Amino acid sequence: MLKEVEEQRWADYPTCERYSGLSHTTLWRLVKSGEIRSARIGRSVRIDLRSLERFMEEKCGVADQ
């Protein structure tokens, strides 16, 4: 599962929920506030996984080495 997510750049809410462990509501708030990037395609929303990963690293205090 994780390998599939890493190969993608954009993902839907359920995939991001499983990947991050965050709730749908929390992800929605982060998208709405602009803390993570997203794109709307018709009625569908896709979240930029790299943006989500950066957000999680910043909040957890993990830095790239």
Mean pLDDT of the chain: 87
- Domain assignment present for residue 40? The answer is yes
Residue 51's domain comprises 2-60
Strands of 1-65, DSSP E: 10-11, 38-41, 44-48
User: What pTM value is reported for the model?
Assistant: 0.77
CA distance 17 to 64: 23
The domain total for the chain is 1
CA distance 51 to 43: 21
pLDDT in tens, 18-51: 999 999 999 999 999 999 999 999 999 999 999 9
- Provide the CATH number for the domain around residue 52: 1.10.10
- Domain assignment present for residue 49? The answer is yes
Q: Say if residue 7's pLDDT is above 80.
A: no
Helix (H) or strand (E) holding 59: helix 49-60
- Domain assignment present for residue 34? The answer is yes
- Domain assignment present for residue 14? The answer is yes
- Residue pair 12/45 in contact by the 8 Å Cβ criterion: yes
- Domain assignment present for residue 23? The answer is yes
- Domain assignment present for residue 65? The answer is no
Q: What is the pLDDT of residue 35?
A: 96
pLDDT in tens, 43-58: 999 999 999 999 999 9
